[in-house]
A and B are shown apart, each in its own frame.
Chain A
């Protein structure tokens, strides 16, 4: 019976000739069926309408039936696979229909047949189906026997090599896929293909390695030791990057080496990275390259040098890269708009991609070195470009622009000058109102830096009502956003006036503040403690905050000191206590709390010098003899046995600690001097963490 596959396309569109082709597939005479398939093959080549018609008329299930039938001649089966391959070459809808008809398992089954011509036809069709974005790649991995069988077919012919490697490189999308391919010997099987006489095979094998090595340490570590014809794989890649090789090959080889380097398999100072991969990627950014190549080149280069300042320095002087990137913003060019519609279309399509790639590369270039940041901001219209990039319609561009801005915002000088001159805070604030999390993380991170004490943008940002926004960030589900929100508030509170501090406490609410103190993310906890510390600075502020929230704060401090926390967290908490001890009335909250005093005593005898130091600061502030009631406090502390500990500490090995305890035991005048220093130190500490 006919198996007609009905679909939304109206049957009236289907021509009689198409029906005739399908009908012939049902002829009882196998010879006539074969001729029918061959005629169909000739009819569909390059004819998308005919392809759609045949699919609507149900040719696919019949072809698949013939292909799978053991009684079919091998010639017929091969021709069926060829026709299916041709149908797959059409539109995405064609692919969908083919996949819906379960073409993939049928063709994979066909690969078990010994006939090479049939295998090649099946692989060619599978290749076409798998490289389409509409095909779920998972279908390649459903049957666990498929991958090993494909590996075994690699030796059959150049065609099987080309198709199989192409399938692999398109279907390797996740670390799990990488592992499956790796475990089935992808590296050993594909490595020899890198020196195949066929360019297509070499190229597809190379692409395979680039997707296998991407962010995969296991693969990358294996790759560096692979020999191809007695030559190290990295050297094979280096040869493929030679300037007279096709651009596609140079670029893909550079990607392989980049991924191997990022995965830690090749050192960043290896000459194949410094003298070969990096310059090759810079060349890919040049005006002579196609727009697509320039995008890929810039993105790969950004990725390569992201963690390494030395590579950033080298790239920044290679072939005028910084100036070269400025050209990425000149699309569509004014010339193309007038003279050539086709080119304008092409330019427009790539304009966003080019801009985001350039922003990414600038971000990577400027992430560590102050001179490079200066060079970037001095590039023609750079700040204007970033500013307009922040409000572009494309999320990708906005994200890249804010990433670039963030990278540049790590520079004190830029914050003071170009950031202020171009009022970057305005679009940044706008960006924060309504953006995907990814953008929000970067934007809030940048905002943290703009809120640094010395940043001239701090004032206008405060006036724009940013506090509410930041407080809402601290309630986000994303730890990164919570950190950035509280971090920005911490920076804002640093040396702020009472009004701002009051506003922060009001807007955040004590409940939220204490919720953050028990946040599972230690970064959030650290920054919240930092905020508390900044709120509790200068005596009147300390007393004011402690009078209203003293009880909760003391509770929270006790909890943290008792809990399982890192040294850094405990140190920060002890610093808060030291600040409280510096208040006039706030002191009493400690002096009357024996539990806290015992804890301070405990930390003074702790094995970690940092904690000892912080606890000693606290005691010093309590016994400072210029203030009222210092004598009583000293007496009480003596009773509690602090003096013995202080004496012991004067013999301590750490000069800093020794000095501190020495002055504390004598409680003489110079002590106050060292205390004021300490306080500044502590604040500095809070603010220094900022910025990265």
Chain B
């Protein structure tokens, strides 16, 4: 990007390299368990210290560079130990080596240490722990061991700190937020040495006396100086700065924006009753009409319940032409439908079943059906970025890798006690006063209000209700035909899982459906050309049949109800788009923008980005 990665041109004699240095240069010694352990330690520590650094873009220094060094320098011990092998007669014999990479700005605060193993025959001449790309000795910044002076760019040193010698551990901390640097000696901060530092500095060490040996610690070992404590101060500072950001006269304006964000978010995901209640409380207006929201909500609910076939039908009924114009989406839905047939949840197989298959409660371990926010917005988080926040604040026990890819979002309504799905679900109950129905006598709820607590309690009662299905079906929907009363039952999710609910006819239907799906894929291939994603999707789905227990097989993850959220969200967005409504709620856009901005800060070398991570503000 900035041309900063050109190697330096130095008088560099390859033949002068000692054997050890060559050995340590690559990724050798992999078989050494101690080395692997150290490597693991290093990765862990670097990840903890510099969570904002994207090492694909800006790798962290991990060792000295065998390429960028003077010939008088020898490297050993995985390129961490530096020794001097020149004459050491005068200043011209000084030699230095720099680290493999410059310090990324996204570190915010960067730190490394050097231990003086041997001060050499004479005395330790110099240590130049920092140098930018431009020059080697020019434009470098250093702290010298023999006189304790600090050197900046040119030759004349300034009195800075104490001298140092064999056994001392010297550290160097670069603050990329205010562009200053300080050194430490044996864990004690010596105070600011330089201000107005340029970007892209390399950790560097310089030696001048025969026998001098120094060991670097880029995070391989715990540091002597408590750098994490120093970081915590800056994190607190930056968080304070954000919290106290002056908004002046615009307080009212901000409030309106925030209300709008919450409202649109609720509407987007179809939390109709909550959105209405919120609009009433804040005296705001909802753009989309109630029916439209409810329609979307119902379709989403069907998908999340695993009843994809019905969802497709409903979509075709309510939004004719939508799926026809989105063949990819349709294919995805059908694939999912196939998976749900295996699962025994889709209505196409469920109607064969003696025992009603599971629906809502087939979400083991996760009482909430919160949509997977942002899954359709790849911009939100770059690949590999790990944001361990679970959307509902509830970590499902069957949490797997894909969950980690959740963008760290939690809306106001996503605490575990008021998960959006439960609101969603009970909303249909309360608005339709199902509780007054005789069938709902099993429910102990006496209140008719739709307060969250009550809703939640009711949601949980479902699992043990004797015949709670009545509550769901009772005239909730305008399109009664979408949901068949007899189709829904709320079995305990722990009931034994069998292919297609264990029904022979259902299995046959499933296989037939699989053939149809195969046909659809071929048809799409003919029309639009080969689609790798489709092929993979289809393969994965069909692979389920290869195992006697699809739920406990390598591809069994597909059966996880959590997997429905992706497709649900995609379908919802497609519907909204077809209605000329934004396919993303503004809240998600704002979040995406903030995340992007922080990443941009790293690229323009604004160090504070490391302590202003969006994740830190989402709980």
Taking beta carbons and an 8 Å cutoff, which residues of A are in contact with B? 242-244, 271, 274-276, 278-279, 314, 317-321, 324
Contacts of A324 in B (CB 8 A): 191
Do the beta carbons of A318 and B236 come within 8 Å of each other?
Answer: no
Do the beta carbons of B190 and A317 come within 8 Å of each other?
Answer: yes
A283 to B235, CA, bound (A): 17
Least Cβ–Cβ distance between B7 and chain A, in angstroms: 37
A-B contact pairs, 23 of them (CB 8 A): A243-B229, A243-B232, A243-B233, A243-B236, A244-B232, A244-B233, A244-B235, A244-B236, A275-B187, A275-B226, A276-B226, A278-B188, A279-B189, A317-B161, A317-B185, A317-B188, A317-B190, A318-B190, A319-B190, A319-B191, A320-B191, A321-B191, A324-B191
A319 to B225, CA, bound (A): 13
Do the beta carbons of B233 and A317 come within 8 Å of each other?
Answer: no
Size category of the B interface is: 10 to 19
With contacts defined as CB atoms under 8 Å apart, how many contacts are there between chain A and chain B in the complex?
40
- List 10 A-B pairs, minimum CB-CB distance, nearest first: A243-B233, A320-B191, A244-B236, A244-B232, A319-B191, A317-B162, A275-B187, A243-B229, A318-B188, A319-B189
Least Cβ–Cβ distance between B571 and chain A, in angstroms: 45
Least Cβ–Cβ distance between A265 and chain B, in angstroms: 22
Contacts of B187 in A (CB 8 A): 271, 274-275
Least Cβ–Cβ distance between A41 and chain B, in angstroms: 33
Interface membership of chain B positions 221-235, coded 1 if the CB is closer than 8 angstroms to chain A and 0 otherwise: 000001001101101
Contacts of B226 in A (CB 8 A): 275-276
Q: Chain B: which residue is nearest A375 at the CB level?
A: B159
**Is the CB of B192 closer than 8 A to any CB of chain A?**
yes
Least Cβ–Cβ distance between A384 and chain B, in angstroms: 21
A324 to B192, CA, bound (A): 11
Interface membership of chain B positions 159-200, coded 1 if the CB is closer than 8 angstroms to chain A and 0 otherwise: 001100000000000000000001001011111100000000
Contacts of A244 in B (CB 8 A): 232-233, 235-236
Least Cβ–Cβ distance between B280 and chain A, in angstroms: 36
Least Cβ–Cβ distance between B228 and chain A, in angstroms: 9
Q: A243-B229, A317-B162 are in contact. Are A275 and B235 (CB under 8 A)?
A: no
Least Cβ–Cβ distance between B562 and chain A, in angstroms: 35
Q: Chain A: which residue is nearest B224 at the CB level?
A: A275
A321 to B229, CA, bound (A): 20
Q: Chain A: which residue is nearest B187 at the CB level?
A: A275
A578 to B192, CA, bound (A): 60
A320 to B180, CA, bound (A): 15
Contacts of A318 in B (CB 8 A): 188-191
A324 to B190, CA, bound (A): 12
A321 to B188, CA, bound (A): 12
Q: Chain A: which residue is nearest B182 at the CB level?
A: A319
Q: Chain A: which residue is nearest B225 at the CB level?
A: A275
A274 to B232, CA, bound (A): 20
Q: Chain B: which residue is nearest A280 at the CB level?
A: B229
Interface core residue of B161, B185, B188, B236 (most chain A CB under 10 Å): B188
A276 to B187, CA, bound (A): 10
A244 to B226, CA, bound (A): 13
11 further A-B contacts with Cβ under 8 Å, apart from A274-B188, A320-B192, are A244-B233, A244-B235, A276-B226, A279-B189, A314-B188, A317-B162, A318-B188, A318-B189, A319-B189, A320-B191, A324-B191
Contacts of B190 in A (CB 8 A): 317-320
Least Cβ–Cβ distance between A626 and chain B, in angstroms: 53
Least Cβ–Cβ distance between A243 and chain B, in angstroms: 3
Interface membership of chain B positions 579-608, coded 1 if the CB is closer than 8 angstroms to chain A and 0 otherwise: 000000000000000000000000000000
A279 to B226, CA, bound (A): 11
Least Cβ–Cβ distance between B165 and chain A, in angstroms: 14
Do the beta carbons of A275 and B188 come within 8 Å of each other?
Answer: yes
A331 to B57, CA, bound (A): 49
Do the beta carbons of B229 and A242 come within 8 Å of each other?
Answer: yes
A242 to B236, CA, bound (A): 11
A314 to B233, CA, bound (A): 22
Contacts of A320 in B (CB 8 A): 190-192
A278 to B230, CA, bound (A): 15
A279 to B189, CA, bound (A): 8
Do the beta carbons of B191 and A243 come within 8 Å of each other?
Answer: no
Q: Chain A: which residue is nearest B162 at the CB level?
A: A317
Least Cβ–Cβ distance between B518 and chain A, in angstroms: 59
Contacts of B230 in A (CB 8 A): 243
Least Cβ–Cβ distance between A301 and chain B, in angstroms: 14
Contacts of A279 in B (CB 8 A): 188-189
